[in-house]
Chains A and B, each alone.
Chain A
Amino acid sequence: MSKRIADAFRNGKAFIPFITAGDPDLASTERFVLAMAEAGADLIEIGIPFSDPIAEGVVIQEADIRALRSGTTTDKVFEMVKSLRQKTDIPLVFMTYLNIVFYYGYERFFARCAEVGISGIIIPDLPYEEKNECAGIAAEHQVEIVSMIAPTSRERIQTIASDAEGFLYVVSSMGVTGVRQKITTDLKTIVGQIREVTSLPAAIGFGISTPGQASDMAAISDGAIVGSAIVRLIAEYGREAEEPVREYVRQMAEAVHRL
């Protein structure tokens, strides 16, 4: 039995890396995920590529294009996860856009998630108001839908948090994913408001790339999520990215776990 989202936060702060499935190909993705698990990641986000990822910056947009060009399909991603599951029990969540899930069919998609051992899903274009779209079906298959909280959420924070499952994904900055020099949002206050209404963990993502940033973010929450910085290594090293990714995740996980 693979681990659940809650297990990722059981031993303190969590480091959560993201990777786009199929970039540069699915066999490489499988190796990279295993490397990240070995290097100390607590939970891994696997992105199913989408042609038009409106919440992503250029780095992940390009990864999606590379992944689709390499022939990545939803079915092939499920197969890759199934194969991964023979080798690791690390908790895994998907990150993708609603149309991918909708088009596959909610029942079929979440049943497959349960079958291959996916514990949750992050869908950036599924806000609180539209969650009922597939929350019921996901719950039947024990797949947790991770809710996002943004710098603009204000009075919505506690509404979203009280109804959340898995963990809260706190978006650090305005705009899209991508590496940032500085994060200026008052995240401490946001995390504080979340903690008033739920005991679920809250992890911060968007814009984090250095061990220092990861440590700062994890210090005021329950974990740090990193995507673009890893995807950038894969863009640079391609199939040879396993060691650079392993080394990067090792440093980042260490920075978070030291807390």
Chain B
Amino acid sequence: MTNPNGRFGEYGGQYVPETLMNELIHLEAAYNYYKKEPGFCAELEELLNNYAGRPSRLYYAEKMTKDLGGAKVYLKREDLNHTGAHKINNCLGQVLLARKMGKTRVIAETGAGQHGVATATAAALLGLECEVFMGERDCQRQKLNVYRMELLGAKVHHVKTGSQVLKDAVNEAMREWASRVEDTHYVIGSTMGPHPFPMIVRDFQSVISREARAQILEKEGKLPDVVMACVGGGSNAMGMFWNFIPDEHVRLIGCEAAGKGIDSGETAATINTGKIGVFHGMKSLFCQNQDGQIDEVFSISAGLDYPGIGPEHAYLHSIGRAEYAAVTDEEAVEAFEYLSKTEGIIPAIESAHAVAYARKIAPSMDKNQVIIICLSGRGDKDVASVANYRGVKIDE
């Protein structure tokens, strides 16, 4: 699906300043070499299995299934990975690759802090210097993760430009990379940015669906009817979709953050409200105004609070292979509480968007049908902000 210029249909590409072009070319060559190099693959597999705790479980959510009264619901438990989310899959891959490339320093952007924590973790383990860029507003709503990154030895830059969220953190990380590209690798956290990042991140995350496909065949003896995941930039969703894309009868559903609603003006639902454009190195869909200025977006979830979406999702949407539903803050918070009480699993507020949509569609499906939800992360980090949303004051 990826052509040599990193295109997914009309989406993708490499829209970056000339300063970064040679580095992207170098990165693509290094990645294409190492992804087939047995030593690299063995080392990564060892890290994923014995450090990050893979394979992640495919858990049959029996109580949720019975409660909803329709399709069987399975949860792909990425929340049980080391550092508490799917982000570690990509970070171990990219930081290991960076070390092979001779880099001594990694930088990353982060929204909710999960990618920053995973990058800081991989950097600590593999012995690279790490600096993370995080919007000041996100630092405020995810204080625990800021401290966690510092604990792991990373330097956290509080980004005070623009709307002070994920988009602005990406801007600053790109500026930093352009100023120090020789010894630094930029660990992009999602299936976004210029080629080869959407491909690299997808490949490192595709372990999710490689496992899930085998696990469901073993448990159910058939493929699922629906596979779903939350979508911001789209890395856990691409990872969850990838190995099911050729299975044409498997419905792929991405759940985006509608914030206060797709017509409220306070939303981050890119597929539902965005238009085609070029930003952060890629041609894709973006929330933008009538002059092509990038909009400030809104979501309770810092991890989905991004005005764009990865180019491969824009492509899957354009050819009708994947569907993209919008889930509001209120629905996500309800799902957050629902899964906690029903299954004893506190999901990340990001993942709760997928849980919310499953609650909508499962009841009308047949009992012999199967849904897999990618539970991309755990919700410990969100407890304080959900309490705040509900008007409860707690001290962290």
Contact = CB atoms under 8 A, between A and B. Distances in A.
A97 B277 CA distance: 11
Given A102-B292, A104-B292, A125-B281, A61 B161 contact: yes
A217 B162 CA distance: 33
A73 B289 CA distance: 11
Interface in A118-153: 124-130, 147-153
B180 A148 contact: no
A97 B294 CA distance: 12
Contacts of A102: 277-278, 292
A68 interface: yes
**Size class of A's contact patch?**
35 or more
B243 interface: no
B161 A150 contact: no
A125 B15 contact: yes
A152 B292 contact: no
Nearest to B181: A152
Contacts of A68: 293
B175 A54 contact: yes
Contacts of B23: 152
A211 B286 CA distance: 42
B279 A99 contact: yes
A61 B160 CA distance: 12
A151 B19 contact: yes
B21 A103 contact: no
A150 B17 contact: yes
Interface of B: 5, 13-23, 161-162, 167-168, 171, 174-175, 178-181, 275, 277-281, 286, 288, 291-294
24 contacts: A50-B292, A52-B167, A52-B171, A52-B279, A54-B175, A74-B291, A74-B292, A99-B278, A99-B288, A102-B292, A103-B292, A124-B17, A124-B18, A125-B15, A125-B278, A127-B14, A127-B16, A127-B21, A128-B21, A129-B5, A156-B18, A156-B22, A175-B178, A176-B178
Interface of A: 50-52, 54-55, 57-58, 61, 68, 73-74, 97-100, 102-104, 124-130, 147-154, 156, 160, 171, 174-176
